[in-house]
Every structure is written in structure tokens, then in C-alpha cells.
A and B are shown apart, each in its own frame.
Chain A
Amino acid sequence: MKTRIAIAAAALVIATAATAYARIKLTTLPERETVRIDIRNGRYTLVEEERTVNLQQGRNQVDFSWANISIDKDSIVFRIIKADGEVNVLNTNYPPNENALYWAVSAAKAGPAVIRISYLIGNMAAGPSYQGVVENDEKKLLMQVYMTVTNTSGESFGRCTVQPGVGKTTGRYFNIGERKRMLAAKFAEVPIEKRYVFDAAIDQKRTRMYYRLVNDKDNSMGRFPLPHGKVRLFIKEPETSENDEVRSQAFLGEDWARYTPLFAPLDLYVGVAQDVKAERFTMQPEKGPKAVHDELTCPRFTLDGKQSVTKPRFRHHRTRFRYRLQNFKTDNGEPITVPLSIKEHVDGEWIIEKVVLKELEGERNKLVEKVIPHAEMFTAKRIDTGNIEFEVKLPPTTIEKKYDLFVTILRKWRRY
């Protein structure tokens, strides 16, 4: 591969010639000794390279030019790492209309000097992707973070060390145009919480299944904030699978992992939980249409000092939802209770005024409704002013037995 970046060093024959643009062109090409590529910044890729140049005593010119590669000219940093005697960089010169510069370097003694040049290049980036292998019981997973580094910079780096953004730094060969997918980090036995979420604002009829991971040390992660990337999840099949030398895996689903700081949870939408059924209906408040609004009064003070009572342009607005809940989920053929989160979106000031849980048995004309205590099955969680989550421990249901959950939300002080 043809080297695009060239460096040349030569002693200045004419020390301070007025024709400074007429640079001394390359005579020797010192090989790169080490190259380090750092893509941690996310926006910029830093390349650092070390070379040994032979300096003459007195003034030297170190030439640096490039072609077909996008280098930020102003970002180039030149450092002397090792030299025999004092070496000073006197100035940096930018010849016009050229992708090149040269440094005027003064050396106390003649001999080899190790220099390091650092610069920012374009068209080289790293993108993360994740692969999760979930245990068959869905309690833990193995999370592998991969970084795919794409080198479309136009430069062949040969052997170099790459810091792809997260995880460990590794030695690689990077040729022009290549992409490399590297394992950056591996988190074993990461506990996962399986969540069934029904959010009518997203999907009116279906319940979604999410995995929740927490990016902290207690949950076997927490080494670095997780960058935004695609997560593909696989599940180990039961050990009884046939025709497999090792345990077979099935694809579960994929989702975008958002940027997850340390200690933050990461929710991954895996797929639809078709065995956990929820449906939402908007109902009339319990005491009929007159309960839709609470009419409010407030004192009125007039200029003559009198006080009366008036109705302000505010009222409390009541909404009652009915959730028809069914759970046909089984584990090894046995019906199981599942945790279901129902999300509601509100705003401003509000309270949950009333919760009623009904058990329905039978069908058609033989259907019997029974109000049952909900304290153990139901908890309402205020996420913020805009969001509520109802956590329901939903027992198994059948065709003949199902649950209706009625929740009345009172939104207060609504203008009309």
C-alpha cells in the first residue's frame, strides 16, 4: 500500500533564505515506528505516530505532507520524545496551496531523535454494537460490546494500536478502506429484569416485553457509560436441543441501546408478549356524567371591599380507564404470575383517585363480577408529573376468568 503521509527531514542548507517556500523536498522517508489511533472522542479521530529522524546539528527542517487524506492542519502537534541533547522546535510553516507543513527544528547535537506527531483525521470512525446471549431462564445474560472501526480515511496504517472508544486498546493492522469488528468488552452474568409493559400510547392492543439492565458494578457492568448502538439478543435453548454440538441459540430480537451512563438502567424492547393481553377502554366516571368535572368555587373580592363567591375558569377533570387483563403465560406448561407495568401519560397536577379491581368469572349471561382487594396485586408508581406506572402482579387467567382494573385519575385545576 502506498503511504500517503510522508515525512522528511533535512538540514537547512541556507539558513534564512527569503525564498522560504522553496522547501527542500524529501530525501529519506523515515518509517513509522508506532501508530496509535484514538477514537474515544466520538467526533474526532486522533492519530499519533512516532518516527525517528536523523537531525543535524543546528537548524533542521522536518517536512510533513499528505495526500488524499483529510487531516485538520491546525490540529497537528509535533513533539520531540527522545533526542541526544537539546532540541527546540522553532516554528511551523505552512506552504500555500499544499497539504503540507514543515517544522524548523534546532538540534544541539547531530543524531537520531524520536518525534511524535499527533493530528486529527476525518473519515475514520467507530460504531458500537452489542450482542447479548441470554440464559434460558432469562435471569442473566452475557453482554458483549463490539466496536466496528471503519477506515475510509484514505490512509493505510499498518500495525497500530487502536482505542476504539470503549473497552480495551488493542493492536491491529489497519489497511485503507478496511472495517474491523473487535470485541471491546465482555460483561458476564449480567442480571436482567424481565418486564411486561403495556402503554396504550405506543400500542393499543399489545403488551411489549423488555429486558432491563443496570449499568453498575452490582449488576456486573458499570465499567464505562454504554454508547448508543444496536443490541442483538440471542437466547440459549434448553439443553435438550438435538443435533447441536454446543447449545443452540435462537434470535430473540434487537433494539437500539440508548447512551447509558453509569448507574442508569437500560431498557431493551425485545418483542411482543402475546400471552399477556391488555386492552384499555375509556369509561364514564363512576358517578356518571356529573362526575366528569368538579365545579370549583373561589372567593371574589371587589373594589368596594365586598366579598362574594365565584366560579373560576378552572375545574377538576376526572378520567376513568378500564383495563381488561389476561395472562396465558406458562412456564414448563404451568401457568405463572407475571409482573405487568401499565403506563399512563398525564400532565400537571393530578392524583389517582380510585382503583377498583374486579374478577370476572363465567361468560355471557353467566358472567359474575366480583370486586377483589387489590393491595397485593396493584401498586401505582408516580414517575413524574407526566407519567404514571401501574405495577400489576397478574395471576394466570383462563377464558372463563379474567380481570378488569378500573383506575380513576383526577386531573386538577384544568382551564376550560
Chain B
Amino acid sequence: MNAKQLSIAVLLLVALAAESLAGVDLVTIPRREGTQLTIYNSEDITMVREHRLLTVKPGINRIQFTWANTLIDPTSIDFRILDHADQVDLIDTTFPAGRNDALQWNIRSRMAGKIPVEIRYFTSGITWKADYVGIANQDETALRLTGYVRVHNNSGELYDNAQTRMVVGTINLVEKIADLAKRPPPGVKYPEAPADARPAMRKAMEEKALQYDRLRRSGKLDAGGLALDKPKEVKKQGLSEYFLFTIAGREDIKDKEPKRLVALKVAEVPLECFYKLSDRDGGKQFTKYYRFKNKKLLDAEGKEKKLPAMENLGLSPLPDGMVRLFSEYKNKDLAYVGGTQTKYVPIGDRVEVNVGRDSDITLVRRLKDQRITNVVARQYKRRLDNKYVLYYDLIDYDETFYYEEEIVSGKPVVAKTELERRFDAKVVLWADDAAPEDWNSNKAGAYVDLHQVPGRKERVDQNHVKYFLDLQPGEKQFVTYSVTYKRRKVGPEINTHKRREPL
């Protein structure tokens, strides 16, 4: 931490008298014994813990702490006496008038000597992210997965020789730390931006963009990572609803210098490949997904492999992050398959990675036929100009669509597919051999007849139906199904002229 900006001073007072609080001299500046950073990824918050040894004398001791030009939340600063708690008490914490970047702790001591204390506070500007690189084998049956954690420090501070921990999980934060850090003290207004601030800001942003562009062109953009002799271990530990990743040893977390470390390196993760098509995203093309389980790896006999924690899955959740997937040919050449953002994956759950559109499996959906039946015009009468007239507006009719889907697999292996269709009314599904009880109901709805489709059919919700097909290499399958929309009490959809006749 930059000692210029964050400083602590002990002011000793021997007497208890009130008057003696004023005008005392600075005695010592205690050295920082250790720093620990706990960085959260769901919010812009980092918990910093510092251990220091304070020299106290009997009586009232006043300790001053300042943090000018940092992003520290003043309301979060906490002071703990770690030893001799029975002889040393914290009386209160005082913020001087008109300042939000300094405080003093008033301590009453009944002893003289050194006491270990902990100063804890929240700061903003340090974040961490996870990202993954997966290399699938040529058959897409196994994946070599490497997980990284990357720490970004934009706080303006250097945290040297700090124990670094990262929290996986989503905490609830009711106020942003950055806002709290910038909040002026009570009675002081927010500083107004100068009138000409906007052009200056624009210029600064343009300069930043140019700088980024220069870096990108020179290829130095990713050179922020630290070259390590051997990867450091990342220890993982459950804590309430979260997981704590602790980087072994100490790290220097430098300002504006991202640091990327390997958190996981697993070889031979069993991989499953399947293809989804859904009306939620157009319903015309298949999307390829890789699936693997966040479970301990098994050997050929089905027993759990004994692997170091860094080389196994299922010991900690996988934090959300960017996944970049490659496919490796036998000659070790790589092909980029795709990249996507994954969600948090609990222990034992499955990772589903969207690899991107796949054009090897094609689908053609044809509307083979359609017909309207059971048209019933429902009359109702209404008085109009002293005459009763009959309206034909309310129409009941059944409209049936017959679909054929031609699905062709160009894959050299069995392709597992999932097709999800949406229907614009509440679905009554005929999935099994026998028609459902309500099949001949006269109520409005989408009556979907999928009973001739092979495999299992599943009703997802009121409007969505899913079916599963396994396609052999080079196989072409035809799937036929129908949907009857029973329209009831339809308004002027058919009787657009509102034909009426006297009663």
C-alpha cells in the first residue's frame, strides 16, 4: 500500500483529562505487519485487512488513520484489538470535522507495550474474474480444461506482499462502495464539476482509446500477467454460500496491472456433445453445446481418481467466466471452436457451454397442410338505433397445421439433439400412445399431436414442448406432427365486415 496515501499515526496521551486530548505530538508510525485482500467478483468490493503492532501507554491513546485519494469506504473502517483485549478498549471512532478521509480511534489502555491490531476496511476498484480455456480432442469426447483467475487493480493503490483471496458467490450489497468512498462528509456539498470538464473528459477518453489501440497493435495488451517459475496453488474452501479461493503465499497486486493465475488444470474431462434447436432463438439452426460435469473424475473402473485438488473437478464450484474452446487435431493443431460466458456451476452440477451454431446438422420444417374446420358463428344481438341487430362476430373454429421436419446429421458420430417448439396458445400435448383425457375438449388451446415422434416428449411450460432425437451418422429423419389451434370467441378476425341483419 502506498504509505504516502494511507497512513496511520499513533498519538499517545497519558492523562485521562479532557484537555489533554488537544495538542499532542506524533509518537510513532507503526509498521504494517501483513495485508490480506479478499476480492469479490459479484460486486466492486474488496475487503482489506492489515495487521499492525501499536505501541500504547497507560491512559488514553489516540490513533489517527488517513486515506486521502483512495476509494476506501469510510463507514467500513473497523479496528480490532487482537491481544490484551482485557486491558485495552476502543472507546470510539471519531471523524474530524469536514473530512471523510481521516479518522481517529480513541483507545483506553491499562498497560504499556505493543499490541497487535487489525484494521479492516472495504475498498473499491479491485476486481477478479475467472476464465477458462478448454481444448477438446478430435472426437469431442474429452476436454483439457484450464481455469484461470485474473485480478485487476484499478484502485490507484499498490498492495504489495499481500495474501490474496477471491470470493466466488453473489453477495448482497445495498450501497456501492465506490459511491460511499466518494461521498462528502456531512455538511459538505458534492463538488461540482467545472463547466469545461466535459471536453477535458472527452479528450482523456480519446487518449485512453488511442493508448489502448496502440497497445493492441503492438501486441502488448496481454503482457500484464506475471511470469512465474511454477504455478502457484489456489486453495479452495467453502464458506456459507460462497467459496473462498486463496492464492498460496503472497502477491504484489500492482495498480493497472492485471495478474492471471492458474486455478485449475484438469486433463481428460469426459465431454458430451449435443445440439439444441429452439424457437426461443429462431428455431432454424442447431446450436452446439459441450457438456461436462463438475464432479470428481473417475477411472476406467468407475472409482474416483486420486488427483491433486488443482487437477480435479468437483471440489469447488466453477465461477462464472468466459470460456474459450478449441479443438485439437491429432497433429496437435488447434482449431478455435467458440467462446461463451458460463454461469456459476455448483459442485455436482453440469456445465453447459454454448459452442455456437453448428451447420453439420440441418433442419427443414415444412408446413405440409393446413385446414380450418368446425367453424361456428356465434350470434349475439345488440340494440342499435331502436332496432335489435344480430352480430356474427364471435366465431369458433379449429385450425390445424401439419408439419414435417426433415433433420439430417452430417456428423461422423451419433448426434444427440433437443428440439423445442413454441405454440401460441396453451398447449394440450399428446405425447404417448393414448390420447390425453382432454384431447377432445372444446376449449381454446393448442392441441399438439406429437405421439408419432420417436423418443421422449416433454412439456416445458404452457407454450413450449421439447422432444429428443438421437441421429446416427449421416442419418436423415422425418418427424411429422400436427397442431390444432382451437380458436374460441374470435372477434373480427374472420367477420371483418361485421355483417349484421335485423332480428
Give me the interface of A with B, judged by CB distance under 8 Å.
Answer: 123, 129, 131, 134, 138, 148, 150, 152, 158-159, 170, 172-173, 175-183, 206, 208-209, 230, 232, 235, 237-238, 243-246, 248-256, 269-275, 277, 281-284, 287-292, 322, 326, 328-331, 335, 364-365, 367, 398-399
- Could you say which residues of chain B place their CB within 8 Å of the CB of A364? 416, 418, 455-456, 468
**Contact A246 B174, beta carbon cutoff 8 Å:** no
B82 interfacial contact with A, CB 8 Å: yes
**Contact A250 B93, beta carbon cutoff 8 Å:** no
**Contact B38 A180, beta carbon cutoff 8 Å:** no
- Could you say which residues of chain A place their CB within 8 Å of the CB of B45? 251
- Asked if A272 meets B169 with Cβ closer than 8 Å, knowing A173-B21, A250-B47, A284-B462, the reply is yes
- 30 A-B pairs whose Cβ atoms sit less than 8 Å apart in the complex: A152-B186, A177-B185, A178-B94, A179-B94, A180-B94, A180-B95, A208-B172, A209-B241, A230-B175, A243-B163, A245-B82, A246-B118, A250-B47, A251-B40, A251-B171, A252-B171, A252-B240, A253-B172, A255-B172, A255-B174, A270-B172, A271-B171, A272-B169, A272-B172, A284-B426, A288-B428, A290-B438, A291-B438, A328-B347, A364-B456
Give the docked Cα–Cα distance between A177 and B438 (Å). 75
State the Cβ distance, A17 to closest chain B Cβ, in Å. 42
State the Cβ distance, B466 to closest chain A Cβ, in Å. 10
B98 interfacial contact with A, CB 8 Å: yes
**Contact A178 B97, beta carbon cutoff 8 Å:** yes
B370 interfacial contact with A, CB 8 Å: no
Give the docked Cα–Cα distance between A326 and B47 (Å). 32
**Contact B460 A281, beta carbon cutoff 8 Å:** yes
- Could you say which residues of chain B place their CB within 8 Å of the CB of A281? 460-462
Give the docked Cα–Cα distance between A270 and B358 (Å). 41
Of B395-403, B405-413, B441-449, the one contacting chain A is B441-449
- Could you say which residues of chain B place their CB within 8 Å of the CB of A274? 169-170, 241, 317, 344, 346
B459 interfacial contact with A, CB 8 Å: yes
- Could you say which residues of chain B place their CB within 8 Å of the CB of A134? 240
From residue 406 to 459 of chain B, which have CB atoms closer than 8 A to chain A? 416, 418, 426-428, 436-438, 441-445, 455-456, 458-459
- Could you say which residues of chain A place their CB within 8 Å of the CB of B98? 177
Digit string of B145-160 for contact with A (CB within 8 Å is 1, else 0)?
Answer: 0000000000000000
State the Cβ distance, A183 to closest chain B Cβ, in Å. 8
Give the docked Cα–Cα distance between A209 and B171 (Å). 10
- Could you say which residues of chain A place their CB within 8 Å of the CB of B44? none
**Contact B244 A365, beta carbon cutoff 8 Å:** no
- Asked if A365 meets B438 with Cβ closer than 8 Å, knowing A245-B82, A274-B346, A289-B443, the reply is no
**Contact A328 B187, beta carbon cutoff 8 Å:** no
B492 interfacial contact with A, CB 8 Å: no
Contact for A399 among B97, B120, B170, B348, CB less than 8 A: B348
- Could you say which residues of chain A place their CB within 8 Å of the CB of B83? 245
Extra A-B contacts (18), CB below 8 Å, given A277-B346, A288-B428: A173-B21, A179-B94, A181-B93, A206-B170, A232-B76, A243-B34, A252-B171, A254-B172, A256-B174, A270-B171, A270-B172, A274-B346, A281-B461, A284-B459, A288-B441, A289-B426, A329-B346, A364-B416
Q: Whose C-beta in chain A lies nearest to the C-beta of B17?
A: A159
State the Cβ distance, B402 to closest chain A Cβ, in Å. 21
- Asked if A230 meets B459 with Cβ closer than 8 Å, knowing A250-B244, A328-B346, the reply is no
Contact for B97 among A173, A175, A290, A398, CB less than 8 A: A175
B350 interfacial contact with A, CB 8 Å: yes
**Contact A150 B186, beta carbon cutoff 8 Å:** yes
- Could you say which residues of chain A place their CB within 8 Å of the CB of B240? 134, 138, 209, 235, 252, 270-271
B18 interfacial contact with A, CB 8 Å: yes
**Contact A123 B187, beta carbon cutoff 8 Å:** yes
A-B pairs, top 6 by smallest CB distance, nearest first, are: A177-B97, A288-B438, A328-B346, A272-B170, A289-B443, A253-B171
**Contact B441 A290, beta carbon cutoff 8 Å:** yes
- Asked if A251 meets B47 with Cβ closer than 8 Å, knowing A274-B169, A398-B348, the reply is yes
Contact for A178 among B80, B96, B438, B460, CB less than 8 A: B96
**Contact B456 A367, beta carbon cutoff 8 Å:** yes
Give the docked Cα–Cα distance between A95 and B239 (Å). 66
Digit string of B310-344 for contact with A (CB within 8 Å is 1, else 0)?
Answer: 00000001000000000000000000000000001
State the Cβ distance, B287 to closest chain A Cβ, in Å. 17
- Asked if A250 meets B239 with Cβ closer than 8 Å, knowing A230-B174, A326-B349, the reply is yes
Give the docked Cα–Cα distance between A399 and B349 (Å). 6
Contact for B241 among A172, A272, A322, A326, CB less than 8 A: A272
Contact for A328 among B242, B349, B443, B459, CB less than 8 A: B349
